[in-house]
Structure 1
Amino acid sequence: MAGMDHSAMNMGGMKTAKDGKMDMTGMDHGQMGHSSMPASVDRGMDHSNMAMKMDSMPTTKTDGKKPDDMVGMDHSKMNMDNKTGDKAGMKGMSSGGGGMEGMNMMDEQNTIDYSILRSSEPIVFPANRPIREIPLTLSGNMFRYIWGFNGQPLSRADMIQIRRGEIVRVRMTNNTMMMHPIHLHGHYFRVLNGQGQYSPLKHTVNVSPMENVTIEFMADDEKDWFFHCHLLYHMLSGMARVVSYGDKPDSSIAAIQKLHLRDMRDNQPFVWGFLQPGYPINYFNLNVSTNKNAIVAGGDHDWRTNRFEFDLDYERYLGDWFRVFAGIDGGNEEFLRRIRPEEGQPTGDQRIIRAVAGIRYMLPFLIQSEVKLDTRGNVRFQLNGQQMLFPRLDFQYQTQWLIGGYLRAHVELQYTVSKNLFLHTDYDTRYRTVGGGLGYNF
């Protein structure tokens, strides 16, 4: 507030008490001059409704320590127009004149606008230094809970190699639906936000979903430094790298690094699925997944007729969403093979097991698609997914088409009772029945 004119402040009524404290009861603030104060500051300041009982407000102690409390401050008349708050941070914050509205860093999509930040002094890097550009895609998904950079977790990626004396520029693109606060140890970096040499200096920057952020720093250190998402459960599941100057690490540091990498959980198996007992149909599903491999099992059973189907597959992920698989299908004959005219209609009593192979791909809106081929030449297409209708009510669906055979549709409503328990009701054209029961997610 260097531009504020204090020369007109009436100090005549201010006295010094015997105990050394300032008595401000006679102080006249009315003559304080704001003439040279920047308009952008003055416009947003509303002093009219702010009352501070200065006589009862604790002053700084003579030993330099901060006062213990602010019990004497009267907040009752402060202008707090937006008492309800706002998810967008400072968007609803009122300072009387409304000048703070330009200071909102969050927009309606909950992305962060760093362009409003400006360094108080220029940050100048040495001229004629080489610039190393590093593109990083923030990747991962909630489906298997796997995170990384450029589609790879830490355990499957090399270090980011840099050299001392370079200007390192990292261009980050967030292809996930979560915000990631990215942190670099050992360095401050500037966020390139259109402010040139006045770009803000930070050590952590939030990268919003489907947004791009570019940072740069002067490589003026040595050894290895951790670079990771500061949501630590994302870091532990893979969203991390080591920025290395290429120096040989000290033996003690190497031991710590080895221990830390052993603690990383970016290739541990995640297990999830559900058990859905009901009448007349039971369903189950099991998934065991690492960052590249998975075992998937699922099936259904009719209590009345004892008809059933089950699948057991090994999957290999070739990307976040695309995988190939091979396994076996088992169950009743009419569920697993194409009907040939010369063979007549299956009776449904025969049980068979077939080897299968195929591909799966996750479509938009988390719709799973599948094409499956068995050893007898039967080809089956499948789509399945779910949509939330209300906070506790989900709609789930599945459709299958066996070429030359059947067309199956399954629809289901699930009501969440607790973290693990749910109620369900469903209709399946294969069994031609409405069912329901209690389910358990794990």
Structure 2
Amino acid sequence: MSSSTTEAVTGQAHLWSVTEHLEDILGAVHPLEPIELQLLDAQGCVLVEDVTVPVSLPPFDNSSMDGYAVRVADVAGASEEFPAVLEVIGDVAAGSAGDLTVGAGQAARIMTGAPLPPGAECVVPVEWTDGGLGEGPVGSMTPHSASPEGATGEVRIHRPATDRQHVRARGSDVQAGERALEAGTVLGPPQIGLLAAIGRGSVRVRPRPRVVVMSTGSELTQPGEELAEGRIYDSNSFALTAAARDAGAIAYRVGAVADDAETLRSTIEDQLIRADLLVTTGGVSVGAYDVVKEALEHVGDEDEAGSGIEFRKLAMQPGKPQGFGSIGPDHTPLLALPGNPVSSYVSFELFVRPAIRALMGLEDVHRPTARAELSCDKPLTSPGGKRQFLRGRYDGEGTVTPVGGAGSHLIAALAHANCLIVVPEDTTEVAPGAELDVVLLG
């Protein structure tokens, strides 16, 4: 008997716990090697190195308002009755080199984001002035006349200002040499924006895993096609592909594969070129047409040493039949999930999602959990010796209500659930009001 066949038999004979199976998966799945990516390509990826700030933000003192850059002493005591009248020596626009110097009795008209000119100590908003340069309305920044060097004339200021008022100080956001982002950060839109702001065009990250999802079963029809008698629509591959994307992966959905072992094996081999992780659903039980087991149970006999898929029975409901191992020359991980829709989705949340997060290099790969009081009319029953996962609605305040029954085909109830209610292996009945763990799915 080959080693892979021995392992397969052992896997079937031993009743694995949920914890044992997950630990085995996470022990075999390792973070992907880091690569350098352009900023937008790095969205959703995990940073592998600390990023320090090469230049302070903002890089220079600049105005936070449209108004006038002035000296504090020149506007001290200014009021509506006795405005400070200052000479306007020109304009300072955003992006300008700032070649004006503000002296005593002078003001420079300044735009938001423009550098504070030498000599100026604060900015008075245009709303505190007559708008300058003639009889224009208060708040107007449009000059009535201007010299070739820019705006000139006078401005009347009706309020005093304090030192540095309406000035964004150089380095007030981050200072050069500070750590902008630390290794392990998942790069979302704000982090991408910060990297761009400090001048980084690319970053070193662990790439998002490429996950290939395929359903098996000759009874499956693609949504949008006519449904013949005795057939059902393929929902698993859509649900799991969406779940893989939600977990952070780049996910590829393969159309349902018929119940033919050679076709399935050929399809899997074709997908290896674009997969960091393969996920199949269906065909892992003990029926006559369990094509995944037939196609992959002896894969270790022909592939390189160390490859092979082991099929197991787990002490859980739903999701008792599971398969895990690796395939191909690169030992690509493969998780074989049961075919019932709820079993498939629960198995994904418990085993595949943590594997995806581990490939990304995240430290915490698990969904958050909470303790919640059970709200229902009658006690829940659970099979002894199995960890049961029931669909539920968690209210966010410590109460959970079961949604639908325990059947593994009840996909409509799953669509209205936002958590999984966990009933431990040693519990066969849970009374209303009892506290249980819930796995939060949203």
TM-score band by shorter chain is under 0.3
TM-score scaled to structure 1, two decimals? 0.19
Q: Which has the higher contact order (CA 8 A, sep 6+)?
A: 2
